[in-house]
């Protein structure tokens, strides 16, 4: 193999790698990590499950609206988590990634997506 051919295959490998990375990002948005989201829903402090009914997480909290009924999309869930709303506290200790996973989970579990 000549040096030139080798350089070419390296470029192709790099290009495929970058494309793979961006495809993975897209796939993540379409296919939320339901298990991680459910765990956060039940284990966040305070637990979303305490105040919200969500069939997928087998929760029956009645302080906040039934998520199965209002079917919030991910952006709406994210806003509520970040800023709080009414009696619901803002979650300042969750990471961006956790908020993203949780928001995508709620949207998907309620059929908003």
User: Which residues of the chain form contacts with ligand HEC (CB under 6 A)?
Assistant: 44, 46, 48, 50-52, 63-65, 70, 72, 76-77, 80-81, 85-88, 91, 102, 106
Residue 48 or residue 100: which is nearer to ligand HEC going by CB? 48
CA nearest neighbour of 57 among 11, 106, 107, 18: 106
Q: Shortest approach of ligand HEC to residue 36 CB, angstroms?
A: 13
What tokens does 36 get? 């991680």
With tokens 């939320």, the residue in question is 32
- Mind giving me the DSSP string for 80-113? HHHH-BTTBPP--SS-HHHHHHHHHHHHHHTT--
Residue 36 or residue 50: which is nearer to ligand HEC going by CB? 50
Q: Shortest approach of ligand HEC to residue 85 CB, angstroms?
A: 4
């Amino acid at each position: 193999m000549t040096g030139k051919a080798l350089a070419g295959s390296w470029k192709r490998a790099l290009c495929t790698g970058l494309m793979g990375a961006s495809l993975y990002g897209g796939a993540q948005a379409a296919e939320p990590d339901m298990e991680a989201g459910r765990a956060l829903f039940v284990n966040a402090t305070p637990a979303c499950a305490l105040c919200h009914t969500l069939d997928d997480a087998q929760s029956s909290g009645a302080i906040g609206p039934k998520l199965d009924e209002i079917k919030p999309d991910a952006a709406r869930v994210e806003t509520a988590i970040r800023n709080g709303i009414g009696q619901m506290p803002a979650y300042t200790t969750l990471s961006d990634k956790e908020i993203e996973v949780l928001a995508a989970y709620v949207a998907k579990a309620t059929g908003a997506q």
